[in-house]
Amino acid sequence: MWTRWEYRAGVVIRGTGAAERKNSVADFDLGANQEKDDRVDAMAVSPLCLKVAFNIDNKHGYIPLKADYHNYSAERAREEKVGFAPCECLNCCPNDAAQIINVFQQINTDNFHTILKDPGGVPCDTSIVTLMRQKTPNKGPTACKLSPIDAAHLPNHLVEDFRLFMPQLLDPDDKFVLANFFGPSDAIQLVGSFDQLVIRGPWFPGQIEWLMKAVVDWMAGDYYQNILLQDAIIAAEEIQRAAEVQEQAYKILQKAATQDAKKRFQQEEKKRERQPRNKDQVQKQNAERHLATEIAVHAAEEETSRLEDQRKMEYLAKFSRLKVIRHNERTKQILAANQAHAKAESVKATAKAARKEATKINKQRAKTKRFLSIQQTNKNMGQKSGEHVPLGASEGGSLNDSKNLHIWAIQFIASFRF
């Protein structure tokens, strides 16, 4: 049972829904204490004033269900004595509640209080039509359509591809276990729900994109393409077997029709032989019938040959279309995989160049710091500035004093690009 109520100016809106709980006053033991769920159910089915019921619940901890309760009568008398406004809940004003429900779809922030004060003052808008949603049968979860052998190949591919993807997510020096992010059990579970949406969001950055790319790469690979090719061959063989069965059926029907025609011809021939006729006339009729039979047999053979040629052409056309469709799909998948791979390689190359440039700059900074540290150490030890030639100075140029040393160090540092 669920109940939702809203109290404002003596108006209570509530809704109830059956969920195998107490749905009527008769379901309650009126002498027993009400638990939390019982109080919720009682508020949903109580026929009494809901404003008074709220006050009794706050004071005494239960919802009244009958008007002869002493606390209910006393609370109602107290509210009337102190001059409470008349209650307008659905139990006290059922007609107003019915009118509010009748124009409920027309309520907005502008006319809300107006409708509460005078529910019958707003005419019902007949142009509003309640649309009923058609119920659709619940379909069970679909299983992976791949064979067990093929379904075992994809998890291995996903785990291996994640091993290559992991360095992009974390630094190579970080000590993390791959299985903590995506392991064989996760891959097997994902493949088992291959035709379902089981992931609700990324667990780590780039997870969805990586999974999509890994699956697309696998589907564009030779292994899955061989599966599609085998399926196409099996489908073509089934079409061929169906065509052969249909052809055999045509031959059986043709043979039966020919035998039936011969049988009727023989019966008519016997019938004619019983009748006395002129010998020349009989021979002429026999020749005509023989010629007609040959013409009919020849026409039947031509029709059979035409049907066979037509079936062969239809089979070849179906197989050619299927082959072209498979080829186009594979070409698109390979092109998409190549583009994604090229994009990934470009990103990797850019990142590698940036890391190389950062390493070079860091080395230059470290070299400069070491040089300045050596100069400072020599100065502290009391060595003369003219006795030491700074690292990187030309053979003909030496620093004669401390001032020149500082000027040279500043120029040396400024020569690097940070």
Task: Give yes or no: residues 308 and 376 share one domain.
Answer: no
216 and 271 share a domain?
no
In a domain, 135, yes or no: no
Burial of 233 (0-12, 13-18, 19+ CB in 10 A): exposed
**Most confident of the following: 18-27, 163-172, 214-223, 264-273:** 214-223
pLDDT in tens, 297-352: 888 888 888 888 887 788 777 777 777 787 788 888 888 888 888 888 888 888 88
Verify that 214 and 305 share a domain, yes or no.
no
> What total number of domains does the chain contain?
4
Segment 162-181 shows an average pLDDT of 70
Q: Are residues 270 and 177 in the same domain?
A: no
Q: Which domain covers residue 176, as residue numbers?
A: 148-220
Above 50 in pLDDT, residue 147? yes
pLDDT of residue 78: 92
Tell me the C-alpha distance between 404 and 381, whole Å: 19
User: Has residue 109 been placed in a domain?
Assistant: no
Boundary of a domain, candidates 199, 220, 241:
220
- In percent, the amount of the chain with pLDDT more than 90 equals 1
Model confidence, pTM: 0.31
What local confidence, expressed as pLDDT, does residue 172 receive?
60
Closest CA to 213 of 333, 330, 325: 333
Final residue in a domain of this structure, among 201, 220, 239: 220
pLDDT, residue 388, reads 47
**346 shares its domain with 304:** yes
Q: Would you state the pLDDT for residue 82?
A: 92
Q: Please name every residue paired with 2 in a beta bridge, in sequence order, or none if there are none.
A: 17
Do 290 and 182 lie in one domain? The reply is no
Which pLDDT score is estimated for 402?
A: 55
Q: Which helix (H) or strand (E) holds 14?
A: strand 11-17
Which of 220, 251, 274 is the endpoint of a domain? Answer: 220
Q: Which of 234, 250, 255 is nearest to 309 (CA)?
A: 250
Does 174 share its domain with 198?
Answer: yes
pLDDT at 393: 45
371-389: b (≥16 Cβ within 10 Å) or e = bbeebeebeeeeeebeebe
In the predicted structure, residue 387 carries a pLDDT above the cut 50: no
Per-chain mean pLDDT for the chain: 76
Q: Does 358 map to a domain?
A: no
74 and 175, same domain (yes or no): no
Q: What share of the chain is helix, strand, coil (3-state, %, to 5)?
A: 65, 5, 30
Note the pLDDT tens digit of each residue in 39-65. 888 888 889 998 898 998 898 888 898
Are 84 and 42 part of one and the same domain?
yes
Whether the per-residue pLDDT at 174 is higher than 70: the answer is no
What percent of the chain has a predicted confidence (pLDDT) above 70?
A: 76
- Predicted confidence (pLDDT) per residue in 90-116, tens digit: 888 888 888 888 888 888 998 888 888
Identify whether residues 331 and 257 lie together within a single domain: yes
Q: What is the pLDDT of residue 17?
A: 47
Q: Are residues 344 and 312 in the same domain?
A: yes
Looking at the fold, whether 311 and 377 belong to one and the same domain comes out as no
User: What would the two tokens of residue 9 be?
Assistant: 């100016």
